[in-house]
Amino acid sequence: MKKVGVAILGLGVVGGGTYNILVDNKEYFKKTQDVDFTVECVLEKNVQRAIDLGLEESQVAKSIEEVVSNPNVDIVVEVIGGVEPAKTFVLKALKSGKTVVTSNKELFAKHWPELETEAKNNKAGLFFEASCVGGVPIIRTLIDGMQANNIQSIKGIINGTTNYILTKMANEGSSYEEALKEAQRLGYAEFNPTADVEGFDATYKLSILSSLAFNKKICIENVYREGITGVTKEDIAYGKELGYTLKLLGIGKNTKHGIEVRVHPTFVANSNPLASVNDSFNAVHLVGDSVGEIMLYGRGAGALPTGSAIVSDVIYAAKHEDFFYTSFDNSPNGNKQTKFVNDFTSKYFIRLSVADEPGVLSTFSGVFSKCNISISEVKQTACENGKATVIIITHESSESNVNKALAKFKSLKVINKVESVIRVED
């Protein structure tokens, strides 16, 4: 039976979950995987935390050098998060020839080329299943399950915090601020929630996933990003009346005009399976030219779901000597020949505050016509204090044409304010 030593860098929520899975399922892995895993050491400042998990004080390393010089450590698991000191620690592990398993999407999205180069140079493995979508095996699916396909699109709910907030706003009529506070109370959102609510977390993940899906390096700078901080419960309620559910989506498309990658709030039709993905759950929808549609669904965060993905990588690394490295040009700035679509097309939900007087509809309809935008649906709400709310759903239109129309609206006296603009996916 193969014996494999593991070191864990960081014993927070995910690190603790990873440790528990490795220890609690040790005999099961011996029986089903023919591998005997042992947690040789951990790197953790809080020694008591390690002891409370069941480790001996002698197993708590005092430095990364102590970890990487340990001849019994074959695989190093990094679950510290952030760029530093995680990057330094991972590079030292790879330079020592240790295989690395990481859940760090920010580190990976920003420094993948450097990490992979070091792994190649030292014939070490570099695994990152847990960096995207928690316990959902999306990366293994892309690498080992979809090779027969040219993947045409990847679309998903890839951040559990924002999905919880939007679900609460939709189901309970909460404001964004109220839903965020509840998410923080439950531990879904950090004290500083910027990475989640402004779309950075989803951008890191979409950069990684779309690179694998389209076999081209997609830098985070190539991803259009918009968060949910401007979303209101009124928008969600109006969308619900029209048969839509609001989600923060990561969308990647491989089109004949180039690669399109974007993260933003999106109304999805209630008939779309993504509309029914609620709370902190995640889901990813793939379209391949051979297999057609595939959807993966599950918990996107948490100690055991993310730990499950990490241990899956640990097992895979222990049983496969030929490590995976990217076949595309994985340089820091990507391949300059890769074309990106910036002026993408979409349907749009537009909410206007307008004057309650004759001719208003024809006025903004004329602007849309001049900007080559076709209207699919118009809904006007009850009037109050001489003002009315108009909801417009457009047909597929280009981003540039919509922006032209919105700019023209500013000069129209009958339009008091453009309250919101949200893209729509059927």
Q: Under a CB-based contact definition with an 8 Å cutoff, are residues 65 and 95 in contact?
A: no
Q: For 1-85, where are the alpha helices, taking DSSP H only?
A: 13-24, 26-33, 47-53, 64-68
Which residue bears the tokens 């030593």? 5
Residue 404 backbone phi and psi in degrees, to 5: -65, -45
Active-site entry in 168, 205, 216, 247: 205
The whole-angstrom separation of Cα 363 and Cα 395 is 18
- Cα 381 to chain centroid, rounded: 35
Closest listed residue to residue 286, CA positions, set 172, 140, 390, 166: 140
| Active site (annotated) includes residue 417 | no
Q: Under a CB-based contact definition with an 8 Å cutoff, are residues 223 and 304 in contact?
A: no
Q: Under a CB-based contact definition with an 8 Å cutoff, are residues 421 and 406 in contact?
A: yes
The whole-angstrom separation of Cα 68 and Cα 99 is 10
Give CB contacts under 8 A, 24+ apart, made by 372-379.
372/397, 372/398, 372/401, 373/397, 373/401, 373/402, 373/405, 376/347, 377/242, 379/238, 379/241, 379/242
Query: Residue 379, SS3?
Result: strand
Q: For 42-175, where are the alpha helices, taking DSSP H only?
A: 47-53, 64-68, 86-95, 105-121, 138-140, 160-172
The β-bridge partners of 259 are 254, 340
The whole-angstrom separation of Cα 305 and Cα 136 is 8
Residues with catalytic roles = 205
